[in-house]
Structures are given as structure tokens and as C-alpha cells.
Structure 1
């Protein structure tokens, strides 16, 4: 439930001046030159964005079926502020990809796609087909907030620029100082249990094992380790074997510290040792069996009853309404490795906003979305409106009103926020900043937790890579089979359904599935990124 969020920029914006300004005789101007949503209608800076109202049609996903984006406070108020009326075609996020692709196949494009999670490959495909417009010049002239961010962080610009040199989509960004968002998840320990057993937070993988053994022996009503899927646990311990040394955006590929070459993590000796460690936890009853089931409801039920001694993932205060947990340390592994590998790039999804060729108001549309990259826009997007959804504290901080934090109807914070705002569930353009984001990663316990691990953050965090159409076609065919097999065998090795004596057969099969070709494509994208 990583609720990605935010950031907006100062309301100042650099816009084109009216093309009519300073012209002499205007008496013979044809009616067609009456200001519309072209650059002559766009204001120089501030709000409103346009002098005369304009309407744009936008396709978007939404988290809650009960939401109506055409009648929700956030967009209703922004319409009043900007003079831009957005008509939303909103679909439930479970149907997002299917419905999005139907719209694209129809040729009846909206003016823009919002939060539609296009991959870099899809952006390049539709950009080169002319469906999505190039955003380079629009950003330069009509997006001062995003432009400033790109100038201050050249790696971000490099990450969102596709192989043909163009930008076709706008990303979710994270402010570099918002470290809790860049990491997001931690090993959470029940503080009262640590105190009761008289132990400190584990510092090594061996100490974690010993602590879980104590819990099983002395606290039979508790589940030693659980509350999330296996893909929440592995990113938090893989660094204890030196894996994931280029961050979370590439879970299966990093740099081999011995050779400096790219490494496919799931065939490495270190990965095998990590799985053997988790297998030991599982076989001794220290790791919850639900870790490999689809029974999320049961995990939530256990979590809300405080049954997990240790839970990997997002803040239990947000996921389970449990405040008695503290974030743990980066565990040192059997060979002395101690990396916090679950560090995300500053760049999230590249394709959370795209403007189509049907858009008659691209300048106004760019100004509209650019506001979400400003401080004021981010505050509006993530916090809402003063004395309605948030209040300002005596020390100048922002917090949600009690009706959202402690909803009397029993709604979770996400559900309560979703009555007014649209950020829960992720999938939006903008920038996440700590002062405005109050989801799991912005909670005080998460902010404190990251202070314990940031010294072990990996040094070079790769953003998502971009691929040419030819590379993408080959990679897609290979990646689906390879990743599916890796995930399947990961579970089988950990649960003991397949013994580790089958390891060589496992790696040999991956080679037969085209792993060398997979890594060759990956390297081409990596070399392009480094250049």
C-alpha cells in the first residue's frame, strides 16, 4: 500500500504572452482569433490558468468505486482556482489497464491520460505513433515547477527522457529529502515484546533468528514473523547478502561487486543463501504460512489484533491500526554485508500523465498538471483544504482533521481521505514531500524508522531504464517467462517443496529460457542510462 503522493510547486508559472499584445489595428481581426485555450488565453503566471474557461477530457483510474472524480472536492476546488474544467472518464483501478487499452484501440482519445501508468515502452510506442505529444517544449515554456526540478536533478530528466530524446509522459517524483518515502518499508518490531523479553532490536540475521525463536517458545499466541507477502520481506533482507546494491527499481538485477558487471540476482550464490535462510525460518514455524497465500484478509485480521511480533512492510499504524511497533535496524548478514537495498529512485512511474494529439489546449493542460509539482499544489493534492480536511498545528505543521485520522464510521485513513482527495492508491503526476504527505511513509514512526537505516542506503540508486521498441518487444517476451519462473521457484525453495539440491537445474532452465539475451538487452539500456 505504498501511497505515492505529491508535490506541487510555487504558483508562479512562465507563460507565453498574448500574441495580440502590442499589435496595432485590431479592428479587422477575424472571429476565429477570439481568445481560446491557445497560448493567448493562458495567463502569464499564478491563477487562474486561463482567462476564459476551457474544458479538457481526461481518462483516469480511481481506487474506490464509490468515488466520482467529476464531483469530488479536490477537482471541484481546483476548477474554481484554475478556470480549467476537467471532465473525467474514471474507471476502477482493477480495470485500468484493460479500459485504457480499449480507449487507445478505439482511436477516440481523451485530451490526456492521468494516472494511467504507462510504461516507458508504451510511452515511446504511442509517442512515435503521434498519439502522445512531445512534452519537451511544453515543459520548457509552461511547466516552471517541473522545469526547476529537472534542472536541479539532471538524473530525473535523464530518467524520463526516452531513447529518441523526447519526453512523452510525466512521472511521480519523490523529493530527495523525503527518505522515508524513498524506502517506505521496514522491519517493524513490537516494542512491548522486546521489553518483555529483555532484548534489543536485532542487529544481524542471526539475532533476528534467535529473537523469532524466543517468540515462538515464550509467546505461543503470537506469530513470530508475518503480516505481508514474501515480496515485502525479501527487499528488507536481501542487502544482508549484498544483493540489490542499486536499489529497488530493479529487483532482479544489480551490479556484481567482484566484476563490476550486471548481475542477475536470482541465479547468484548469495541469493541461494538468502533463500536458505528464509527456508529455515519457514520450516521452523517462524515465518507465517500466510506469507505465500492469497489470504490478505486473514493477515489484516491478525495484524489488527497485534498478533505479529515482527512484520515487514509499511507502518503497522497505517496497515493494522497498531501503534506499538518500532522500525528496526539494517541487519548485518553472515558475510558482513549490511545494505539497506529497498531504496527507491526519485522517479516513480514515468507514465502518469500524457497529453494526446486530440488536445486543443496543450498549454493550459501543461500548466494545470505542473501545479501538482509545486508546494501549493502538492499541499492541495495531498492535504486538501484547511479546516475541512486538514488543520495547521501550532508549530506550523499540517495534519488531517480528526474525522479523517479517527473516522467515527470506522473508515481507514485512506477511505476517509478518499471522500475528498484522490491520492490513496498511487498513480498520479506530482511530487511527494514529507511536510504534505501523511500516509504510511509520512507518519512520525516511519520518519523515525528511516533514521536507523539511512546510513546503509545503497550508494547508487538506478531509476527505471528505458528501452527501444525492438528491445522492449524482445524483453517482454523473455521477461514474462523468466520472472514468472523465478517467483514460482522462490516460493518452492522457501517452503521446501523443491529441495536446494535442484538449484543447478533451476539455473540451467533459466539459461534455456533466454537469460543471456535478457541480460544483453538490460545492459544496452543500462549503458544508455550511464551515457
Structure 2
């Protein structure tokens, strides 16, 4: 009996020793003053236009050399990244760092932070990341956006703050056709209706065919959809909006019904493209760029994005004024990707890791992460401003930019004052002009970017998917068939049955906490 007791005691002591050794290993102090270069494994996603992997970019190697690290990259495409990331977390076979905007969803960040697979960055930022720390002191609102409900930061963002980022859509009308008919730019919903009738009744492109489409859009697309037009009837927000501190679902508001009735009047008169609710972005864009102009009015990001030039037959117009004098436009919370940089539980060198990414939150370095290195993609002028260099012949700007830097998938925080130092391209100038035109009509209250708890995030995903799918099926039917008054109450009741009240309750809770 005594021998068995002694043997059991020895086993327990060995187990305790092993656990103690593991804890010491996990908590071992990283020697950041060592001259020895450390190796980090990193998983990154490259932009669709990129022809270069991250391990082939001298700019990224220079940033790694600055903090004495060697980064072994696994570079994925946007098509394969989600499956790869899910597999890594499921198997717990993790890289030391994740690096790429748009790589993890908000619910993923919170979930894997709670399981310990993503490391809390708060203390690392406080002690070893002066640029990030300064950013958060300057912009506590940004820090609040990326802080998880448990009070920790598990991912650093990409944040691109500019005038253009505050407005997705722009409303265009064919100015050449207006001039042919000696018509002014419409300013009200009634005038717009009459203008579209004139486009329909005349051979505007002078080809002898009845191929004119007075008004087209892509209904479910945020940029190419007609969702800001509801502002003429006193309600904005394709989905979630805020008024007087109260969160609402725009497509369930009584004023939204008036917008739908107006859209039906346009459809009934043959003024809306019959394919506007079914065609995809590629088909829609091909209509915009048709060699023989066929569209009278449309929604898009900009002329430059549609045609590759600013000066075209189309001009962007202000929001229409509705029958009750309402004149509003949708607004964005800004260009933020919650995910960008995360340290995993596999990482034995978190200090070097945070020091590496902290460089990217320096203003000049952040510009280079976004636009490309100085001397290659951009040039610093004597007055301190930045000029974007032209792409070589035969290469698009996006290919040129993403050959040397992560670009649109990089990690940085370029604030408005930073972006103002960049000498804009014609397309950027065009878009900022539109943003300034729409700004006076945008609501002051906008639902912010926030992180939800795992439970609330999962619930919102289920509720919003069901509710939005039902809305996207039903509203087009109302516009086409015109029975909105008879069916509206049943539509709202179905939304309520699907959990609309619970959806709004969750959104309201986080909005109140954010304020």
C-alpha cells in the first residue's frame, strides 16, 4: 500500500513539474534586446490585382529588418483565404500572425479571442507600440470600435478615413440627353419622373431603335442600388439607421412604403430597367459602358470607376426633393476593416511582432503600405505632399500598386489629415466632390462599426440573414406589382415574426454602449 502511495506521489509530482514547465515556457520573457534575428510565420491575403506575393516585396522585408525579424509568409488569394483560415483555427495549427484587412469577420475576432487563439494586444500596445498608442490617444473612437465586448483588443484594423469613404453611392443622369431635350437637371421626384418619360419617348441615342433604358440600377448592391432615393421620402439607411438615438430598420418604416410606391409608379410607366432586380454587377456595368449609350439615369461609385475618365455624358446630381420636402442621402461610418493584424497563441515573439506592425501606423509608412513605396509608386514633393506616380504602360493602377505593397489589404490608419497630403488622382478628386455634395443631406446619427459578443454576433447573423433575404425578395415584388398598400401590414408582421424586434434590441444595446 505504501509503495503504491509513493508511486502515485511520484507520478503527480512529475505531472505538476510538466505543467509548471509548460507555464514557464508559455510565459517566458521575450528577449527583444537580443541581436539574434527571430523568425515569424505569417498568413496574408493579397489583393485580386496583385501579381506579387508578400515574401517578394522588398518594402515588407525592410520593415521586418528594422525590428530584426525574418517573416516566412503564406500568401493566399481572396478565393481561398476563408477556407484556409477556418481550417487553421479548427485544427489549432496557427501562424504566429495574421496580416490582412478583411481576413477575419468581427464575430471571428471575438470568438477566437475568447478561446485564447488570438492574443489580447492591449499591454503590448501600451508598452511596445508608440505609434498605435498615440493613434488611440488621438482617436479614442477608433479604439472603441475595435475593442471587443470583454474590453480587449484582439485585432488591429485597416482604417482609411477620407471624404470619399463617407458616401458609397452617387446618382448620375445623362446630361447629353437632357441637353438634347433642352431639359434642366431634375431636382424633385416629380421632375425626375417626367424626365425619365422624356428619355423613354425619344430616340435619345439616335440609332433608330427603341433601346433606351431610362433608369437602371442593381437593387441588392450598396453602391449601384437606388437606396439613397428613399431619402426623398424621409428615411435613409438600406438596413439599419438611427434617429434621435433610436435604431430602426429602414425597410419597415411607413415612409419607406411611400418610396416603394414611387418606385412602382416609375416601373409601371416602363421607366425602370426590367432587369434591375436580377442582373449582376457585370451585366449592369456593361450597360453603363455600352458603346451606344442606352441609360438615362443610374447609380454608381464615380464616372472614373465606370469609364476610366471623369468627363463623360453623365453628371452626378444632388438628392431629389420629395413631395413633403424631404431631401436626404445615405452615409457610411467610414472605411474600416476590423481585422488586419492579429497575434496568435502560437507566437513566441509577440513584442517583435507588435513592433513590426507598429511601424505601419507611422503616417509616412502607412501611406506607403496603402499606395506603395516612395520612389516606386509615390513621390514626396518639396512641400511635403505626396504625388501618386502613373502606372507603366500596359499595367493598371491596381496592378502597379499591389506589385510592391499590400495596398487595399494592408494594415494602417490613414486619417483624413493624412489623406489630405496626398495629391489626388482625377478619380479621387471626382469622388470627393460627390461626397461634399451629399454631405449636407446625410444624417448626423450613423450606426457605428462595433464588435459584438460571440452570442450576439451569432444571433445577429441568423436574424439579419433571414430578415434581409425576405426584404430583398419582397420589396422588388412591391415595386413591380404595385400592391404595397394591400400587402404592407402583412410584410411588416412577417418581419416581426422573423425576429425584427430582437434584431433591433441587440443593435440598440451596442449603440447605447458605444455612445
TM-score, scaled to structure 1: 0.79
Provide the alpha-carbon RMSD of the alignment.
Answer: 3.2
1:90 partner SS: strand
Alignment of 1:24-43 (within 5 A): 38-41=31-34
Q: Cα deviation per residue 1:262-295 (whole Å; 9 max; x = unaligned)? A: 3222211111222222233334343334432344
1:37 touches 1:360 (CA, 8 Å); kept in 2?
yes
**Deviation of 1:238 (Å):** 3.0
Match of residue 447, structure 1, among 432, 442, 445: 432
Match of residue 187, structure 1, among 171, 181, 187: 171
Does 2:234 correspond to 1:242?
yes
Match of residue 139, structure 1, among 111, 114, 125: 125
Match of residue 496, structure 1, among 481, 488, 500: 481
Match of residue 321, structure 2, among 294, 319, 332: 332
Separation (CA, whole Å) in 1 of partners of 2:426 and 2:485: 37
Structure with larger Rg: 2
Q: Cα deviation per residue 1:470-503 (whole Å; 9 max; x = unaligned)? A: 3233333322212211122223223339755222
Unpaired runs of 5+ in structure 1? 1-31, 42-50
Match of residue 293, structure 1, among 278, 288, 298: 278
**Deviation of 1:76 (Å):** 4.3
Does 2:89 correspond to 1:96?
no
Does 2:108 correspond to 1:122?
yes
Does 2:150 correspond to 1:164?
yes
1:74 touches 1:422 (CA, 8 Å); kept in 2?
no
**Deviation of 1:393 (Å):** 6.3
Q: Cα deviation per residue 1:420-476 (whole Å; 9 max; x = unaligned)? A: 33324x574533653477899961111222222222232122312332233233333
Does 2:389 correspond to 1:371?
no
Separation (CA, whole Å) in 2 of partners of 1:76 and 1:197: 60
**Deviation of 1:347 (Å):** 6.1
Does 2:55 correspond to 1:55?
no
1:60 touches 1:116 (CA, 8 Å); kept in 2?
no
Match of 1:470 in 2: 455
CA distance 1:510–1:125, shift in 2 (3 Å): same
Match of residue 199, structure 2, among 208, 215, 228: 215
1:347 touches 1:463 (CA, 8 Å); kept in 2?
no
Match of 1:431 in 2: 414
CA distance 1:382–1:123, shift in 2 (3 Å): closer
Separation (CA, whole Å) in 2 of partners of 1:192 and 1:73: 48
2:79 partner SS: helix
Match of 1:12 in 2: none
**Deviation of 1:166 (Å):** 1.0
Match of residue 408, structure 1, among 388, 393, 417: 393
Separation (CA, whole Å) in 2 of partners of 1:191 and 1:74: 45
Match of 1:68 in 2: 53
Match of 2:341 in 1: 353
**Deviation of 1:359 (Å):** 1.5
CA distance 1:470–1:462, shift in 2 (3 Å): same
Match of 1:5 in 2: none
2:200 touches 2:214 (CA, 8 Å); kept in 1?
yes
Match of 1:24 in 2: none
**Deviation of 1:111 (Å):** 1.3
Unpaired runs of 5+ in structure 2? 1-24, 206-211
Q: Cα deviation per residue 1:494-529 (whole Å; 9 max; x = unaligned)? A: 333975522222212112212222222222222222
CA distance 1:219–1:255, shift in 2 (3 Å): same
Separation (CA, whole Å) in 1 of partners of 2:178 and 2:125: 52
